[in-house]
Amino acid sequence: MNKLWLLSWLLLLPFLAGERCAAQGLKISTQIRAVDPATPAAEGTVVSSSLTLCHNGRIFDYVALADELCVFDPVQKHFVVASASRRIQTLVTFDEIRHHTETRRLRTEEYLQEMSAGTATVGGAELEFIRFQLNPEFRQSFEPARNLLVLASPALTYRIELCRWEDAEQVDRCLTWRDWTARLNSVLHPDNLFPEPRLEVNRAIRERGDSLPVVVELDRRPAVNTLLRAEHQITTGLSDDDHSRIAKWESMLRSADLQTVPLRRYQQTALVSRNR
């Protein structure tokens, strides 16, 4: 299976708009397109889509192509990650995520030291990109007329179209979810990007104080010639169909047909499925 959808999902998972989870809920429908910079964005190829529902303090995020549901529970301080087609689920605590991300970082720093000592041959550009991920530095700019936030670097650039949101506290709560999701993805898929670039993006959005993204574009030229563009349709309140989806997901998570497995087992099973 082509890994482009997975990379796009990990890099451009939707930023949530300000939620009123306990009261009226929130729905975000996201499409991610691979776009040729020479053509209009609307002509890009859809490589991933997701549905995110906020309800009663939890956030349900489902990616159909991966057949993966991630449920964020800030009260219990964990994620539940599940796949109905593979009939497995795993519970990942915040402490476990911290441990894995710290361990991965230490091992990567050791690897970089070995490469710098000349004990192996790896392209300089690849090593620099790894170093950038561990300690990203962006040049930040903002265009008020377009409400466009840009975080630029030689390694990659984010262009983020923002919209006003009335409650800065809601924005912060939602970006906290995005922070933890970035860390979780680095644990579930350790061959992909480190979370630090996305954490920096979230920090820059927090500095705006009153805005949320509706479009996020990732530009990795010249290393990657196509842009990845995530477009988010945000709706306040949940429909009857949305409530039915949540009830179905909750029933699935409680089902005896869904085996609870350790994180490593879940990773191995998911990897085999995606490589078929």
| pLDDT, tens digit (0-9, with 9 covering 90-100), for 190-239 | 777 899 999 999 999 998 878 878 999 999 988 889 999 999 887 888 99
Is residue 23 in a domain? Answer: yes
Query: Residues 218, 227: contact at Cβ < 8 Å?
Result: yes
Is residue 152 in a domain? Answer: yes
End-to-end CA distance of the chain: 6
Is residue 143 in a domain? Answer: yes
% of the chain with per-residue pLDDT over 70: 86
Report pLDDT for 72. Answer: 96
Is residue 132 in a domain? Answer: no
**Does the CA dihedral 90-95-101-102 come out positive or negative?**
negative
Is residue 108 in a domain? Answer: no
Domain containing residue 55: 4-101+138-274
Q: Who contacts 197 (Cβ-Cβ below 8 Å, separation ≥6)?
A: 132, 133, 136, 156, 158
Structurally, the chain folds into a number of domains equal to: 1
pLDDT digits (tens, 9 = 90+) for 133-176: 999 999 999 999 999 999 999 999 999 999 887 766 667 777 88
Picking from 23, 59, 17, the residue whose alpha carbon sits closest to that of residue 246 is 59
Statement: residue 5 has pLDDT above 60: no
Looking at residue 61, its amino acid is: D
Is residue 218 in a domain? Answer: yes
Report pLDDT for 90. Answer: 97
Is residue 116 in a domain? Answer: no
Looking at residue 197, its amino acid is: P
Query: Measured between alpha carbons, how far is 69 from 256 in angstroms, rounded to an integer?
Result: 17
Query: Measured between alpha carbons, how far is 145 from 160 in angstroms, rounded to an integer?
Result: 13
Strands 26-35 and 45-55: antiparallel
Report pLDDT for 127. Answer: 87
Q: What is the mean pLDDT of the chain?
A: 85
Is residue 241 in a domain? Answer: yes
pLDDT digits (tens, 9 = 90+) for 35-56: 998 888 778 899 999 999 989 8
Residue with tokens 């998972």: 13
